[in-house]
Amino acid sequence: MNSDQELVKRTLHGDTYAFEELVKTYQNKVYMLAYRYMGNEDDANDMAQEAFIKAYRSLRSFKGDASFGTWIYRITTNVCLDELRRRKRKIAPISLDEPLATLDGAEIEREISDQSLAADVIYEKKEFSQNIQLLLDEMKPEHKTVIVLRDVMDLSYEEIASVLDCSIGTVKSRISRARIILQKKLTERELLN
């Protein structure tokens, strides 16, 4: 029995300190995963905490077939994707051309900032990371998920299949498709030279 399973067992006997040991082991990766899904620090913080709380509540369902890491990544993924879907339903589509109404009845024109990325900041790590994050946010969740799990989190195909509860073949084709889409976006926006 590895240390993770021992800590899980102790947690199930009411030892919260054991669970906090698990948190310390995985909190950085869970937070990074949540950040890539959510795109900002506050949401990443909330979702990472929510993922750990959900894991704590449903720890009895953890059978130990996969590693605790894979299990907490799956929870984090589901928590984040559920939240993103919930938000997508709530946000009503608006027309960018429609003028904004002010309190005094006057109308002002919307000032839309140019989201396109300048080519001179591509290789600046911070800027590139922010731009990549914007591109990831534009992608479908299924593509975004495999890019994050494979290229950001560096999980193997087997681990990704376990997290997403699908076959390795599905993972392989989904990663391939996602990378081609991402590459196309980067090329279109001239973020690669």
Torsions phi, psi of 100, nearest 5?
A: -80, 135
Q: Is 84 in the site for other proteins (CB under 8 A)?
A: no
Contact of 113 with 184, CB cutoff 8 Å: no
Q: Is 26 in the site for other proteins (CB under 8 A)?
A: no
For residue 151, the tally of other CB atoms under 10 A from its CB is: 15
Q: Is 53 in the site for other proteins (CB under 8 A)?
A: yes
For residue 177, the tally of other CB atoms under 10 A from its CB is: 14
CA dist., res. 172 & res. 149, Å (int): 12
The amino acid at residue 180 is I
- Binding residue (CB under 8 A) for other proteins from 52, 62, 68, 73: 52
CA dist., res. 70 & res. 85, Å (int): 22
Contact of 54 with 72, CB cutoff 8 Å: no
Q: What is the DSSP string of 123-156?
A: TSHHHHHHHHHHHHHHS-HHHHHHHIIIIIS---
Nearest approach in angstroms of CB 69 to other proteins is 16
Torsions phi, psi of 101, nearest 5?
A: -90, 130
- Binding residue (CB under 8 A) for other proteins from 72, 75, 149, 182: 182
Nearest approach in angstroms of CB 105 to other proteins is 41
- Binding residue (CB under 8 A) for other proteins from 41, 98, 188, 190: 41
Nearest approach in angstroms of CB 112 to other proteins is 26
Q: Which stretch binds other proteins (CB under 8 A): 36-44, 64-72, 78-86, 96-104?
A: 36-44
Footprint of other proteins on residues 142-181 (CB under 8 A)?
147, 150-152, 154, 157, 172-173, 175-177, 179-180
Q: Which stretch binds other proteins (CB under 8 A): 13-21, 71-79, 85-93, 102-110?
A: 13-21
CA dist., res. 18 & res. 26, Å (int): 13
Name the site residues for other proteins (rule: CB under 8 A): 14, 16, 19-20, 23-24, 27-28, 31-32, 35-36, 41, 44-45, 48-49, 52-53, 56-57, 125-126, 128-129, 132-133, 147, 150-152, 154, 157, 172-173, 175-177, 179-180, 182-183, 186-187, 192
